[in-house]
Structure 1
Amino acid sequence: MKATLERNQSLVLIVDDEAFSRKELRLALEQEGYQVAEAKNGTEAINVFHQLHPDLVLIDALMPHLDGFECCHKLLSLDSNKYIPVLMITALKDQQSIDHAFKAGAADYLIKHIYWPILRQQVRCSIEQSQLQQKLVADNQQLQRLVNVDALTQVANRRRFEEYLLVEWKRQGREQQPISLILCDVDYFKSYNDTYGHLLGDRCLYKIAQAILNVVKRPADLVTRYGGEEFAVILPHTNLEGAAYLAEKICFAVRALAIPHQNSQVSSHVTLSAGLATVIPQSGSNFEEIIAIADKALYQAKAAGRDRFLQNNLLERQSSRNN
């Protein structure tokens, strides 16, 4: 079988250990304009399924080694496959087999010998419903992305920042693990906008956001646009040393962009000031606590001359209070 197929029409995978049954279904489906792939057992079906990603599967329930029930379950076990309809075809008519099929994830249960005009409609409707469902999921994911992503910088927005910080604050509190927060502010950005215009100002913010993303790479970490020319980085399960290392790299990465800023009072290029805080959340505490601490460190970094980061460590204060 070829590794790839032209996908101008929907692709149906036929799984049956009987060659005659496969041939009969293939001819009927090809006459309706479907592309068809075949597998003669459950193991082969799984390989073909992951290789070709069919739009629908017709599978015989009774096959040696890996029967249709177990094969169906394995095919649909991944989230990416769960919307692909599987139609179970069998001579079994008992209630237990029917229940077993639907429990395995089958979209429908067809009794041999099949009346083609009915199967034709079932195949068509199943594929159309699956495609509609997948489009709905994709649209919802895109909508969720639009809700949570800052349109200009393409990093998470303030809404997502607050949602995620709340979740991670509670999680680290339960596990009694540190969470760190880095607040960043572009130095003299108002002056940059006044000098170069808002179009270049927007491009500048986008480049800075992408530079921060290139530094902060763990899946659990979140880079956000906090507001205006401010960015925030949430670092779950990260101690002060780890956060300080990233803050230094972020400041360096922005310098390395070498974006000209002739009216900056600290450099001939755009720079960043950052404040960071590390906290182990305590019972009854609020995530606004870490924001206030990081914001104070950011203020101190600006007061100290900008183009740098400073840190406040609440862990030391928590330890001294506990002692």
Structure 2
Amino acid sequence: MNGTVLRSEYLVLIVDDEQFNRMQLRLFIEKEGYQTAEAQNGREALTVVQQLHPDIVLLDAMMPDMDGFECCAQLQSLDCSKYTPVLMITGLEDQESVDRAFAAGAIDYVTKPIHWAVLRQRVKRLIQQSQLQQEQESVNQELKRLATIDGLTQIANRRKFEEYFSQEWRRMAREQKPLSLILCDVDCFKAYNDTYGHRAGDRCLQKVAKAIQSAARRSVDLVARYGGEEFAVVLPNTNAKGATQVAQAMRLAVRMLAIPHSNSQASFYVTLSVGVGTTIPVPGSDFEEMIVAVDRALYQAKLTGRDRVVINHSN
């Protein structure tokens, strides 16, 4: 983190069963410019963390009922505390207690009586480290997302399609449920580019991608750009009838865009040829055969006049 830390943005949760200890810590922490919240035992601390999502927890080790070690261990299981460092405050300095604090998930510890200058630096450092970790995680997630997104159409790319299709193939094989695949191709797209130019071709693909995506409505359905003007749709737990309905909806959605295409052999507008296949995967089998079979159905759609859906019946 660069520049001055705006400490008032950060919330410190103080957990101690002794009111005097909490008051001392609160006065010191607030003097340092942080906001504070308090809990007087481990169970209350778990509730407060889930409600307020503090940036750091100052946790007394020795408390009745649920001590700091157990509380710390339970905090680690909360999704909301993934980036919340725990600083254990303990009167115990023996090797076993220190090891126990770190084993429970504490990031660091300070001993009683508290050395305030040490506490100040450790709170500041742990919050900074947590913020950096969150920023890095955010960057990594964005990089991961970009690696699986097609830059032009902003839908999944071929890499993502292959990962997802493989994953769902294995899942449907385990559950013995139907998996459907749709491959579709923009008809006479080379002629479209030659007639209207590549920039218009790019805009056309963006509109087609949105139209296809609008027809695959479930969160588990994946629409991907498979090639230049070819799109693939993975429909988990979908039978042949359902897949055919989705395919027809996609074809009609593209027709309803009414994008003029004066040199198309299928229509005066941009249209889709679509191949569909459905199978219940055999455990341990390969999905490549299904892609080949659906691609044959797509080729048949083009061969028999374009702007139509052809179902592969070999599966």
Q: Distance in 2 between matches of 1:203 and 1:61?
A: 62
Shift in CA distance, 74/253, structure 1 to aligned 2, threshold 3 Å: farther
The aligned residue for residue 105 of structure 1 is: 105
SS in 1 for 2:226: strand
Q: Distance in 1 between matches of 2:195 and 2:7?
A: 53
Contact 1:75–1:81 (8 Å) recurs in 2: yes
The offset of 1:257, in angstroms, is 3.1
| Deviation per residue, 1:52-106 (Å, 9 max, x gap) | 3222111223445554334333433244532220112233556665454333322
Q: Distance in 1 between matches of 2:301 and 2:309?
A: 6
Matches within 5 A, 1:55-66: 55-66=55-66
Amino acid at match of 1:309: V
Shift in CA distance, 174/35, structure 1 to aligned 2, threshold 3 Å: same
Q: Distance in 2 between matches of 1:165 and 1:178?
A: 13
| Deviation per residue, 1:2-50 (Å, 9 max, x gap) | xxxx985332222223332222112222232323233334444334323
Contact 2:53–2:80 (8 Å) recurs in 1: no
Matches within 5 A, 1:108-119: 108-119=108-119
**Residue 11 (str. 1) matches residue 11 (str. 2):** yes
Shift in CA distance, 247/90, structure 1 to aligned 2, threshold 3 Å: same
Moved more, 41-50 or 249-258: 41-50
SS in 2 for 1:290: helix
| Deviation per residue, 1:167-188 (Å, 9 max, x gap) | 3333433444332211011122
Shift in CA distance, 20/179, structure 1 to aligned 2, threshold 3 Å: same
Moved more, 63-72 or 188-197: 63-72
The offset of 1:243, in angstroms, is 1.6
Matches within 5 A, 1:1-323: 9-93=9-93, 97-282=97-282, 285-315=285-315
Q: List runs of 5+ in structure 1 lacking aligned partners.
A: 1-5, 316-323
TM-score (norm 2): 0.86
Q: Distance in 1 between matches of 2:126 and 2:312?
A: 58
Determine what percentage of the aligned residue pairs are the same residue: 61
Amino acid at match of 2:16: D
Q: Distance in 2 between matches of 1:21 and 1:200?
A: 69
Shift in CA distance, 43/284, structure 1 to aligned 2, threshold 3 Å: closer
Q: Distance in 1 between matches of 2:239 and 2:85?
A: 47
Q: Distance in 1 between matches of 2:313 and 2:80?
A: 43
Q: List runs of 5+ in structure 2 lacking aligned partners.
A: 1-5
Contact 1:279–1:314 (8 Å) recurs in 2: no
Q: Distance in 1 between matches of 2:314 and 2:90?
A: 66
Q: Give the number of equivalent residue pairs.
A: 310
Q: Distance in 2 between matches of 1:261 and 1:41?
A: 71
Q: Distance in 2 between matches of 1:151 and 1:112?
A: 56
| Deviation per residue, 1:114-139 (Å, 9 max, x gap) | 11111112112212222222222222
Contact 2:170–2:283 (8 Å) recurs in 1: no
| Deviation per residue, 1:169-220 (Å, 9 max, x gap) | 3343344433221101112222332333322322222222233333324343
Contact 1:240–1:313 (8 Å) recurs in 2: no
Q: Distance in 2 between matches of 1:187 and 1:234?
A: 21
Contact 2:259–2:269 (8 Å) recurs in 1: yes
Shift in CA distance, 69/144, structure 1 to aligned 2, threshold 3 Å: same
The aligned residue for residue 321 of structure 1 is: none
